[in-house]
Copies of this chain bind each other. A is one copy, B any other.
Amino acid sequence: MSDQPLTFEDFPPGRRFALGPKTVTSEEIIEFAREFDPQPMHLDEQAGRASILGGLAASGWHTSAMLMRMMVDSYLLRSLSEGAPGIDLMEWRKPVIAGDTLSGHSTVLETRPMRSRPGIGIIRLRHELENQRGELVCVSENAIMFRMRQSVEASA
């Protein structure tokens, strides 16, 4: 049974999935910023220290993308995910500075079958990432669609 992919039924409210750890390097921060968020505090150590962020800081969008990778590695890639329609909440609570190590968890908030797509259910999750000092740096909530076990068995 253990090699069966996760379905809707495997995400009861309250279940938690560990995320990370992931250490963020200055090279990664600069590479992401060059392509997607070329503001000085994300590109340059000096400019970062001079800003309210206090150091070479990851773009919030980079932190969000790293969160996504942690979700993929933790549970999405071994699940029958059908994707997500968006994000309900994304808070960048503290700067993520070069050298920081991020970890955290996703927690299932609520679940419901989709009326419009039989055999698919929606799981609402809350994601939290902390740095190595235990400070919350990122909080996010979103809904992800997963296939139900019955639909997998029906098509097997």
Contact = CB atoms under 8 A, between A and B. Distances in A.
Give the residue among A39, A81, A82 with the most B Cβ atoms within 10 A: A39
Q: For this complex, into which size category does the number of interface residues on chain A fall?
A: 35 or more
Interface stretch (A5-13, A65-73, A103-111, A124-132): A65-73
Number of chain copies forming the complex = 2
A13 to B, nearest CB: 23
A156 interface: no
A35 B69 contact: yes
B91 A85 contact: yes
Nearest to A120: B52
B68 A36 contact: yes
Contacts of A134: none
Contacts of A90: 86-87, 90
A89 B77 CA distance: 25
Nearest to A66: B36
Contacts of A38: 69, 72, 77
Given A35-B65, A36-B69, A87-B90, 6 more contacts: A35-B69, A37-B65, A59-B68, A60-B87, A61-B68, A88-B89
